Amino acid sequence: MSLIYDEYGRPFVILKEQQAKARVKGLEATKANIIAAKSISQIVRTSLGPKGMDKILVSPDGDVTITNDGATIMDRMEVNHQVAKLLVELSASQDDEIGDGTTGVVVLAGSLLEQAEKLLGRGIHPVRIAEGFEKAAEVAIKTLGEIADTVPFSSDNLDPLITTAMTTLSSKIINVDKRKMAEIAVNAVVGVADLERKDVNFDMIRMEGKPGGSLEDTELVNGIIIDKDISHPQMKKTIKDAKMCILTCPFEPPKPKTKHKLDISSREAYEKLYQQEQDYFKQMVQQVKDSGANLVICQWGFDDEANHLLLQNGLSAVRWVGGVEIEHIAIATGGRIVPRFSELSEDKLGKAGVVREISFGNTKERMLVIEDCANSNAVTVLVRGGNKMIVEEAKRSLHDAMCVVRNLIKDNRVVYGGGAAEIACSLAVSSYAETIVGVDQFAIRAFADALDDIPLALAENSGLDPIQELAAAKSRQMKENNPLIGLGLNGDAGEDGSRATNMKEIGVFETLVGKQEQISLATQVVKMILKIDDVITMGQYQ
């Protein structure tokens, strides 16, 4: 700030230097935000691709999770920086919308921020960088639409869906059995899908896990599995043509309120009370029998007396069934949830072909299977694994594969994996940059470089020479004008020493909507971060 006098002796202030300082401070804040967000991206970068590494996540109470799922890693990390949290939300958005590509979207956002940092160092304004990125993203998304292939499938030919699910599972812990797991994921989704309307009801797919056995023992059951057993060891364990009453009322006499007091002063009074209780139990059991039910599903517990009476009357029962499971059983079997015994009637019973109890190994672990449900084609995937951590990771992996299959049913266009789609987009964006005059050209070229970072990371994580593999794939795409050439990470090296190969031939697909969403979401978040020049906390200017 300078104080200067005019020719009449009046002072005035020149703020030119202050404005320059403020601008420098704003750029420093933007760079600090970029560094914070990049550090998050670097953490998940090593988990990208079929040879990506896993992370061990330890919760505050010592629970251990082993995963390479980007959304899970981001969700369970403790992130304190405000801007870094935007990348956590970015990964969650990709997971909610698409279900797959949660690692790739964060890696792409980190690469864009790295390129933006270089441009800021050259003195280009953050807003111009953001505008250039937006133009480049439009070109990339348009290019994806042009190079996409349509995969025809039908209820008789599910191979394209299975191949795409296998690509998703290649980077997961269950890739050893990826063919079987992909078939389970596809059959589960197709089982609850309306192929004519291209609609999938995900609520009808349940996922249950039971440690023990191996991943190969994972199976798909056309029905519902709940982690409960028949309440009495002598009750029938298999009920054919099951008619079940679904109760949310306790199977016991009403208890007196806490402010009331009951004094029993004689044996006669006790006998009368006991008889009254017995009559109450008998009335409840009779109401169940009168409705025609042969299986009782109860949300609450019941004591041994009620259990014994049910056994004597030839009724099987399951107790302490959770609220979510109760609702799922009611939807699938066409039953009504009954809150009072007096409301029980035959038209409120749920129906299923068979209900059976299954046991595992030589342990006392048991589960209840409800098959051939009357009202819907509900399915359950029973995941097995050596321990709880493997089971949980397998469930997350199968969920990703199911999301990909669902997206493919809604829109059956695919692009090719192994970095092929990103390289094709990078070449298209570079060509577009040559037609632009002005500062935006630098940002558009930087966007093309950022797209190259995905195949670079794939090659790095596979232990290959990233520059050589990317250069070879890019060179072949340009020479052959073929957007299907990508990094064949599992293949043998060719004459030029690289593994670049045609992704269509080896069957590596990714859904078009998933890839387009990745580029769109990453660009939006990077634009938002570039436009932040200061952080104000608790109403105080920092």
The residue count for the chain: 542
Q: Which of 102, 143, 163, 380 is catalytic?
A: 102
Residue type, 512: L
Tell me the two tokens of residue 35.
Answer: 């560094």
Q: Which of 30, 69, 72, 452 is catalytic?
A: 69
Angle of the 159-169 helix axis to the 178-191 helix axis, nearest 10: 120
Residues 374/387, Cβ–Cβ less than 8 Å: no
Tell me the two tokens of residue 163.
Answer: 């191949």
Region of 250 please: left (phi>0), alpha (psi -120 to 50) or beta.
beta
| Dihedral, 45, 47, 51, 55 alpha carbons, nearest 10 | 140
Residues 308/251, Cβ–Cβ less than 8 Å: no
Q: Long-range contact list for 135-138, CB < 8 A, 24+ apart? A: 135/432, 135/436, 135/440, 135/444, 136/429, 136/432, 136/433, 136/443, 136/444, 136/447, 136/448, 137/447, 137/519, 137/520, 137/523
Cα(297)–Cα(248) distance, rounded to whole angstroms? 9
Angle of the 84-97 helix axis to the 512-530 helix axis, nearest 10: 160
Active site residue 217: no
At 419 the three-state DSSP class reads: coil
Residues sharing a CB contact under 8 Å with residue 258, sequence separation 6 or more, in sequence order: none
Q: Where are the beta strands (DSSP E) in 59-157?
A: 64-67, 149-150
Angle of the 466-480 helix axis to the 420-433 helix axis, nearest 10: 70
Cα(472)–Cα(76) distance, rounded to whole angstroms? 38
Q: Are strands 295-298 and 316-318 parallel, antiparallel or unpaired?
A: parallel
Cα(182)–Cα(194) distance, rounded to whole angstroms? 19
Region of 241 please: left (phi>0), alpha (psi -120 to 50) or beta.
left
Provide φ and ψ at 91, rounded to 5°. -65, -40
Q: Which of 400, 440, 452, 453 is catalytic?
A: 400
Active site residue 156: no
Tell me the two tokens of residue 426.
Answer: 């990078």
Q: Which of 103, 143, 168, 380 is catalytic?
A: 103
Residues 86/525, Cβ–Cβ less than 8 Å: yes
Active site residue 248: no
Active site residue 452: no
Cα(238)–Cα(256) distance, rounded to whole angstroms? 37
Catalytic residues: 69, 102-103, 400
